[in-house]
Amino acid sequence: MAENLNLFTSTQEVIREALTKMGYDESVYELMKEPLRLLTVRMPVRMDDGTTRVFTGYRAQHNDSVGPTKGGVRFHPDVDEEEVKALSMWMTLKCGIVDLPYGGGKGGIICDPRTMSMGELERLSRAYVRAISQIVGPTKDIPAPDVYTNSQIMAWMMDEYSRIDEFNSPGFITGKPIVLGGSQGREKATAQGVTICIEQAAKKRGISIQGARVVVQGFGNAGSFLAKFMHDAGAKVIAISDAHGAIHDPNGLDIDYLLDRRDSFGTVTTLFENTLTNSELLEIECDILVPAAVSNQITAQNVDRINASIIVEAANGPTTLEATKRLNERDILLVPDVLASAGGVTVSYFEWVQNNQGYYWTEEEVNEKLEKKIVSAFNQVYDLAHSRKVNMRLAAYMVGARKSAEASKFRGWV
Ligand code: NAD
């Protein structure tokens, strides 16, 4: 049978398995197999050349039994309904794993921001908020940045919502600039969370971070900060990549130099000759492999050539279910995306809490609270995987789905 590369149906498959393992009946799966709500919007936007273009966007709200839904907005040409739905389901799992009072949400607009001016991006961002304003808000559904959206876009969106609401509403969205109520530590939060998971996984496997060989696929927000944190902790980052290729030095790369040279889309390998391909990068012998770029990178095709002791998924969906099974059989410790990349939403939650109380924390306070949440989540998932003899992905889904399943039951929905 062909391997399932569809993120939506493979997510459904693991949710079903997780709920069954926990003893929930079919009605809970029926509720959780899709978002409760999916709004499709079409937005006319005036372009710089005077023409009008109509963009399509989505907002999915997976489950709001625990509290408001929460999740990023992605601007990308490949956005589609299924992807937004799958991503909203992952957000429910992430929020459950780090125990946040949220369910999952996600949004996206089909567009290519790399070809748009700042003015066009601003008009599109504002149009999106007007289009979805009925179903979002600080106590309903709280957006955030995702692929190709940033703090400037969050600022425009917050401003537009505040005009509609006729209140200054910083709690409407997270990932804002600090002066508009953003949180210290938000920009690096995903990489911080991944780093904490690597430290915990390395401890379990008796690997010292000092001198550990680390390979990172992707050098954007998640990958580049992660490489920097690993480098600063004494690890040897021996290979990194971007969409154009990979670079490798067995003695360790100069991460500060690469960080300095990368562009805002996370491209740096084009500055070098004789680069490796991304598939060659994945097969380099190392202690810790971090896929931090795109989905479906470790599949049945290449999994047997993966040469790492620990894999920590910073990206969403980089390993297929078949590959997860085979890595588990080879006793390679895989820390799944829904746990490893939950640092971003955790600090987004901290930002919302600070907005609600109007009192702001230092970066040290944020990092301390983040560490507590991620360490506790990691250990809960790790211990469950051992006690129930399941892989870390299934254990993470079990921990992640439980809160929404329980809340839905208490509310009498199922
Ligand atoms: P980004 O856009 O900042 O960077 C993406 C990086 O991946 C760039 O270096 C790009 O060149 C590279 N890339 C793109 N296509 C590639 C390909 N086919 N092969 C190899 N490299 C490729 O994105 P990001 O924010 O760093 O996100 C990376 C991954 O982490 C995504 O899967 C995202 O969903 C996930 N993630 C990010 C966050 C966050 O807060 N940034 C949070 C949770 C999950």
Residue range 158-194, pLDDT digits in tens: 999 999 999 999 999 999 999 999 999 999 999 999 9
- What confidence score (pLDDT) does residue 194 get? 98
Q: Which atom of ligand 1 is nearest to the CA of 342?
A: 43
Q: What is d(CA 409, CA 133) in angstroms, rounded to the nearest whole number?
A: 29
116 C-alpha to ligand 1 centroid (Å)? 20
How wide is the angle at C-alpha 318 spanned by C-alphas 102 and 83, nearest 5°? 55
207 C-alpha to ligand 1 centroid (Å)? 26
Q: What is the pTM of this model?
A: 0.96
312 contacts 197 by C-beta, under 8 angstroms? yes
Q: Answer yes or no: is 299 a known binding residue.
A: no
Q: 147 in ligand 1 pocket by Cβ < 6 Å?
A: yes
Which residues of the chain have a pLDDT value below 70? none
User: Residue 203 is part of a domain; what is its CATH number?
Assistant: 3.40.50.720
Mutate to test the pocket of ligand 1, among 221, 295, 297, 298 (most ligand atoms within 8 A of CB): 221
**Same-domain status, 324 and 258:** yes
Please name the helix (run of DSSP H) or strand (run of DSSP E) that holds residue 92, with its range, or none: helix 81-97
**Same-domain status, 158 and 195:** no
**Same-domain status, 323 and 193:** yes
**Backbone φ, ψ for residue 116 (5° rounding):** -110, 150
Q: Answer yes or no: is 176 a known binding residue.
A: no
Alpha-carbon torsion (96, 101, 103, 106), positive or negative: negative
Give 99's DSSP letter.
T
164 C-alpha to ligand 1 centroid (Å)? 32
Q: Which atom of ligand 1 is nearest to the CA of 314?
A: 30
Domain end residue (candidates: 316, 340, 364):
340
Q: What is d(CA 227, CA 256) in angstroms, rounded to the nearest whole number?
A: 9
Q: Which atom of ligand 1 is nearest to the CA of 337?
A: 44
Mutate to test the pocket of ligand 1, among 176, 190, 282 (most ligand atoms within 8 A of CB): 190
**Same-domain status, 163 and 193:** no
Q: 149 in ligand 1 pocket by Cβ < 6 Å?
A: no
Is 282 part of any domain? Answer: yes
**Same-domain status, 194 and 306:** yes
**Same-domain status, 297 and 196:** yes
**Same-domain status, 197 and 325:** yes
**Same-domain status, 150 and 194:** no
93 C-alpha to ligand 1 centroid (Å)? 20
Mutate to test the pocket of ligand 1, among 341, 346, 347, 351 (most ligand atoms within 8 A of CB): 341
CB atoms within 10 A of CB 353: 16
**Same-domain status, 149 and 210:** no
Nearest partner of 324 among 279, 389, 390, 386, judged by Cα: 390
Q: 316 in ligand 1 pocket by Cβ < 6 Å?
A: yes
Helices (H), 109-262: 118-132, 151-165, 189-205, 221-232, 255-261
Find the farthest-apart pair of alpha carbons in the chain and give their distance in angstroms, rounded: 62
Domain end residue (candidates: 340, 364, 398):
340
Q: 227 in ligand 1 pocket by Cβ < 6 Å?
A: no
- What confidence score (pLDDT) does residue 275 get? 85
104 contacts 132 by C-beta, under 8 angstroms? no
- What confidence score (pLDDT) does residue 380 get? 98
Q: What is d(CA 40, CA 37) in angstroms, rounded to the nearest whole number?
A: 10
Domain end residue (candidates: 340, 372, 406):
340
Domain around 156: 34-169
Nearest partner of 377 among 343, 351, 414, 411, judged by Cα: 343
Is 67 part of any domain? Answer: yes
Q: Answer yes or no: is 70 a known binding residue.
A: yes
Q: What is d(CA 403, CA 19) in angstroms, rounded to the nearest whole number?
A: 11
Query: Which residues are annotated as catalytic?
Result: 106
- What confidence score (pLDDT) does residue 10 get? 95
Is 311 part of any domain? Answer: yes
Q: Answer yes or no: is 369 a known binding residue.
A: no
Q: 190 in ligand 1 pocket by Cβ < 6 Å?
A: yes
Would you state the structure tokens that stand for residue 144, as one six-digit string? Answer: 């955030």
Q: What is d(CA 114, CA 57) in angstroms, rounded to the nearest whole number?
A: 17
Sequence-separated (6 or more) residues with CB below 8 Å from residue 274? none
Q: 240 in ligand 1 pocket by Cβ < 6 Å?
A: no
Q: Answer yes or no: is 348 a known binding residue.
A: yes
Query: 59 - beta bridge partners?
Result: 39, 107
Is 53 part of any domain? Answer: yes
Is 117 part of any domain? Answer: yes
**Same-domain status, 164 and 241:** no
Is 387 part of any domain? Answer: no
**Tally of structural domains, the chain:** 2
Is 247 part of any domain? Answer: yes
Closest-CA residue, ligand 1 atom 36, reads: 315
389 C-alpha to ligand 1 centroid (Å)? 31
**Same-domain status, 263 and 295:** yes
Q: 182 in ligand 1 pocket by Cβ < 6 Å?
A: no
33 C-alpha to ligand 1 centroid (Å)? 26
User: Residue 90 is part of a domain; what is its CATH number?
Assistant: 3.40.50.10860
Is 25 part of any domain? Answer: no
Q: 278 in ligand 1 pocket by Cβ < 6 Å?
A: yes
Q: 218 in ligand 1 pocket by Cβ < 6 Å?
A: yes
357 C-alpha to ligand 1 centroid (Å)? 32
**Same-domain status, 140 and 251:** no
